[in-house]
């Protein structure tokens, strides 16, 4: 494992740990209680989505859709609904919390037997994924509760400078 991947996992473990301790039930109440630079958090401090009464989604959910579709769709199917190749994340995220999702995405997961070959790749070294992983999580969380529907969200909050800055520094 490269240094880069290790940093991602360690960073995750720290946030995950704190999040895990106060967690009541997986993955907890998705209601947004705070926001910073267009990024919303639930009462446990975990990233979450915000969908307005007009259907407009927060920017993270939107970019999460875009990055999900580029990095996960080829296995997990359109809109997180699963495929012949990998499970439905709409279902999975009903029972996985933020820390578990982070650990699986960064470190991978395997279930290989005589008749089944399920391998989730370790994406911890992949900037195209890890620089957007909170957004992908937020989008899938919204899909799993039904707050976000199928397809590209029609309207979204504007991109913030903070997002652009973070993206640029992460992508290098």
Which residues of the chain form contacts with another protein (CB under 8 A)? 55, 65-67, 69-71, 73-75, 77-79, 81-85, 88, 108, 110, 112, 114-117, 119-121, 123, 125-128, 150-152, 154, 171-172
78 binds ligand HEC (CB under 6 A): no
What 3-state class would DSSP assign to 170?
helix
| Residue 75 interacting with ligand HEC (CB under 6 A) | yes
Q: How does DSSP classify residue 141?
A: H
Residue 60 burial class via C-beta count within 10 angstroms: exposed 0-12, middle 13-18, buried 19 and up: buried
166 binds ligand HEC (CB under 6 A): no
C-beta of residue 23 within 8 angstroms of C-beta of residue 7: no
Residue found under tokens 């012949």: 84
Name the minimum Å distance from CB 45 to ligand HEC.
Answer: 20
- Cβ closer to ligand HEC: 24 or 112? 112
110 binds ligand HEC (CB under 6 A): yes
Quick one: 29 or 168, whose CB is closer to another protein?
A: 168
Question: How many chain residues touch ligand HEC (CB under 6 A)?
Answer: 23
Q: How far is the CB of 160 from ligand HEC (least distance, A)?
A: 22
Q: How far is CA 113 from the centre of its chain?
A: 28
Return the percent helix, strand and coil in the chain, to nearest 5.
45, 10, 40
19 is an interface residue for ligand HEC by CB under 6 A: no
What is the DSSP pairing of strand 109-112 with strand 117-120?
antiparallel
Toward another protein, which CB reaches closer, 31 or 118? 118
Q: Is 121 in the site for ligand HEC (CB under 6 A)?
A: yes
- Of the candidate spans 28-36, 37-45, 49-57, 115-123, the one that interacts with ligand HEC by CB under 6 A turns out to be 115-123
For helices 98-107 and 133-145, give the axis angle rounded to 10 degrees.
130
Report the alpha-carbon distance of residue 65 to residue 63 in Å, rounded: 5
């Amino acid at each position: 494992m490269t240094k880069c991947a290790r940093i991602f996992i360690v960073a995750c473990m720290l946030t995950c740990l704190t999040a895990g301790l106060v967690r009541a039930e997986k993955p907890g109440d998705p209601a947004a209680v705070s926001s910073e630079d267009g990024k919303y958090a639930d009462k446990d401090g975990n990233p979450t989505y915000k969908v307005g009464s007009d259907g407009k989604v927060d920017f993270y959910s939107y970019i999460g859709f875009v990055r999900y579709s580029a990095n996960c769709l080829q296995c997990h199917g359109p809109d997180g609904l699963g495929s012949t190749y990998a499970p439905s994340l709409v279902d999975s995220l009903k029972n996985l919390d933020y820390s578990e999702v982070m650990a699986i995405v960064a470190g991978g997961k395997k279930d290989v037997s005589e008749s089944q070959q399920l391998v989730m790749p370790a994406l911890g070294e992949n900037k195209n994924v890890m620089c957007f992983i909170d957004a992908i999580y937020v989008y899938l969380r919204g899909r799993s509760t039904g707050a976000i529907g199928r397809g590209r969200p029609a309207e979204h909050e504007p991109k913030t400078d903070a997002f652009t800055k973070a993206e640029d520094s992460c992508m290098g």
